[in-house]
Structure 1
């Protein structure tokens, strides 16, 4: 699939079922980015898994923020209005922000023994 030219409306129920089977339904989110009253863009994102986080970490160790962001986008944006993501800075930043929030969704509790 060429995500470069894909639109959110091109995502089929079969694609969603495939993603749910591959990544787990609870690891997927639908994101709507509204940049004006008339412009809204939609995406299907997945939570980053350990290999993605490790790849991002390697780029971060080299202080290559652009490569870390590209790795996150390429691996965790499954589909959507890709032209807007590639060309609109507001959309790009909002998608990145939401992906970064997904990395920190887990909650933990420390219990004294």
Structure 2
């Protein structure tokens, strides 16, 4: 039985609005990945605390594959999913960008 994949072009305005309502507009980004002259597009959300905690459970046991799977399954809302599933270059780019989203916060320590 073959797997059915969705594409970025199939994402509707209603889906985008639902994601914005659920996660917050500022927490959602579009990502374009180019591999071998082909462009693939995705809608990503910044990982929240629940996702980070779920990743941490797998990281403790050094299960990198499950850690990455948790990040992707929770934070890639839609896009050219066949490319994500089958193309290693696309997979790595999406993971790297999710890692960047995870560490976007900035902080400053000040003496009192």
Tell me the equivalent position of 1:31: 31
Q: TM-score, normalised by structure 2?
A: 0.95
TM-score (norm 1): 0.94
Distance 1:97 1:65 in 2: 14
Aligned to 1:16: 16
* Unmatched 5+ stretches in structure 1: none
5+ unaligned residues in a row in structure 2: which ranges? none
Post-superposition CA distance 1:47-102 (Å, at most 9, x none): 00001000100000001000000000000000000000000000000000000111
Q: Which residue of 1 aligns with 2:48?
A: 49
Aligned residues: 109
Q: Distance in 2 between matches of 1:31 and 1:45?
A: 7
The answer for the alignment partner of 2:65 in structure 1 is 66
Shift of 1:35: 0.8
Q: RMSD of the TM alignment (CA)?
A: 0.8
- Structure 1 segments, 4+ long, off by >3 Å, are none
